Structure 1
């Protein structure tokens, strides 16, 4: 596969904003230190679990599902941390709240982009199941209308699988915006605020990383892979740097070797399609049972791929709801304290997740 961005540096070359979060050595109370340590250790464990034991698992639908589960868990953890800090929204820095609201809109948009692409891929699997049923009769002759119908359906599937959802085009700019938000010159001055800022930095880094992998997988391009560098002062830095090295490196190898599909499950479907095509070509009379067997194999591989997409779709939807719930909670708290959120923020929220 020829990639338009091969040979270029990764899209994100941002450094580490750690000094902006903690410009000087911070001394926290034992309670706050324990809360922060617990959060960072949990994040480190989540990241370690994403490091694949087998490189062939990289960008399988099952790995992507686990990655999105991990991201959901981290976002839940930071919501719990906010509650445990007993840090009223009235004490939050106004600029930080604006960035939070901006980023939540970006995340909702990118969830919609991912869901749109998953839906498009799933529609293709319905076409393949129709091919299976069309060719399920062992007595179907090669010149029959059903053979012609199956061949037409496979042609349509090939065209569809090579296309992309238009919404994916926005992922690069969305991720760029999320990465830029790591650079905040003004931070919360209280100890609780500093703990929250440090935790949110970890959340953002994992979010950017996972979403960049999803964008690369769906767009078949390496340009969204993040080059973020994380300071070893974070307890989760080692796990993140190892994970980034393993995953980004393997993705680049896949593209460099001209893989036709970055999804392992989709490669199995494509292999079945290639085996079936010659059996339903003009002038070809399939051997007895060969056509039915090939059609059955195609149906099974398509069904496994569809099931993987369904599980992944559910995790993306869960993430969407977590982000939306957190955003709504902040807006409600702002109103409760008599603060007026920016009206532009409210109007820019996507109405619903695309299924």
Structure 2
């Protein structure tokens, strides 16, 4: 079951609106300060392995979820969202679809690793009772199945998906709080999702495709994380826990082929089994953590998308109260932007338009 099927009916959001207007810089300042602190918490990346560990990946996904949650509060504030922000939000709605697709892609990649882990666990269990010729044969088949899957991993192009997530560029001139937040969310989404897809054996461009301008307060922290991730990925792409599990299983397969003959478990084989069991269990825990983190990200992304759509669903009452023809308002219906003119002779002045 895909994440879309699991969370297709997200709970509605309830927002507490504030009538007090703030300057763009003041409105986005708490958001940017929190983002700086979170980005700095991701560096340095642990040096226990040449590649990026899944534990770090989970933290990065959680960071993106928190960033989206903070963005939702700003996007849903009617005192901040309006005018030129509507065009930016319209493009951002497309970006949220790409983020949801990325969550599904990450979940599918994690599930493939989990299926490979099940084959490994079967082999380990059979090897623990190696006295039976049938068990030896089944264990050898399971190891061969894993080796075949490891030699030809399922790789699919994620370039199109990552291109849809890439920020369109920070607009020049006076930048509103909402547009600053949207750019930040898109930049962090690009960094996190491209990194996760790469370490889970997906094809795509290397991280570091964009560098954030130093004019933004969080730009330096973002670029520092990007540089650290790129340096790691140049050394090894596969996640550290996956790399360790594959190495231990290659050793186990070699020992099994060399020493399993009379059905007895030698000390060397017993040690290889123990090491493989340990790293496989650690990989299982990290994959479960990643799955939970991605599920949480999917839910928050749905909520952020719903908040953005609210800006188009609700008409502007001040225009409805005017003379013969009212200002054109934009609403979202059937996934498209529609231009609707209101006539006060037909619609009551107190009417608020809401298209669902």
TM-score tier by shorter-chain length is 0.7 to 0.9
What's the TM-score once normalised by structure 1's chain length? 0.75
Q: CA deviation at 1:235?
A: 1.1
1:263-342 superposed matches below 5 A: 263-281=239-257, 284-285=260-261, 288-337=266-315, 339-341=330-332
Kindly provide the CA deviation profile for residues 256-294 of structure 1, in whole angstroms up to 9, marking residues without a partner as x.
xxxxxx211122212221222133327843653443442
Distance 1:86 1:161, change over 3 A: farther
The alpha carbon displacement at 1:223 in A equals 2.5
Q: CA deviation at 1:53?
A: 5.0
Q: 1:208 aligns with which of 190, 195, 198?
A: 190
Judge conservation of contact 1:104–1:323 (CA < 8 Å) in 2: yes
TM-score of the superposed pair, with normalisation by structure 2: 0.75
The structural deviation recorded for 1:242 is 1.5
C-alpha spacing 1:287/1:310, structure 2 compared with 1 (3 Å): closer
Cα pair 1:209 1:225 within 8 Å, conserved: yes
Closer/same/farther in 2, CA of residues 53 and 175 from structure 1, 3 Å limit: closer
CA distance in 1, matches of 2:25, 2:210: 25
The 3 A distance-change label for structure 1 pair 278 and 249 is: closer
SS in 1 for 2:52: coil
Q: 1:155 to 1:247 in 2, by over 3 A?
A: same
Alignment correspondent of 1:111: 103
| Structure 1, gaps ≥5 residues long | 1-28, 256-261, 347-355
CA 1:320–1:229: 2 relative to 1, 3 Å? same
Cα pair distance change 1:331/1:232, threshold 3 Å: closer
Rounded Cα–Cα distance in structure 2 between residues aligned with 1:217 and 1:288 = 35
Instruction: Please state whether the residue corresponding to 1:281 is helix, strand or coil.
Output: helix
Q: Looking at both structures, which has the greater relative contact order when contacts are Cα pairs under 8 Å and sequence separation is at least 6?
A: 1
Structure 1 counterpart of 2:134:
145
The alpha carbon displacement at 1:307 in A equals 0.9
Show CA shifts across 1:76-117 (max 9, x none): 1111233467335x6464422320111111111111111100
Give me the whole-angstrom Cα distance separating, in 1, the residues matched to 2:194 and 2:336: 24
Q: Give yes or no for contact 1:116–1:165 (8 Å, CA) kept in 2.
A: no
**Counterpart-to-counterpart distance in 2, 1:221 and 1:230:** 24
User: Structure 2, unaligned stretches of length 5 or more?
Assistant: 1-20, 316-328, 338-356
Q: Distance in 1 between matches of 2:90 and 2:77?
A: 22
Q: Following the alignment from structure 1 to structure 2, what is the Cα–Cα distance between the partners of residues 233 and 183?
A: 11
1:1-355 correspondence to structure 2 within 5 Å: 32-56=24-48, 58-83=51-76, 86-88=79-81, 91=83, 93-137=85-129, 140-141=130-131, 144-165=133-154, 168-169=156-157, 171-179=158-166, 181-182=168-169, 194-219=176-201, 223-254=205-236, 262-281=238-257, 284-285=260-261, 288-337=266-315, 339-341=330-332, 343-344=334-335
> Are the counterparts in 1 of residues 76 and 311 from structure 2 also a CA contact under 8 Å?
no
Cα distance in structure 2, aligned partners of 1:134 and 1:251: 36
Whole-angstrom distance in 2 between the partners of 1:237 and 1:227: 14
Superposition RMSD on alpha carbons, in Å?
A: 2.8
Paired residues, number? 301
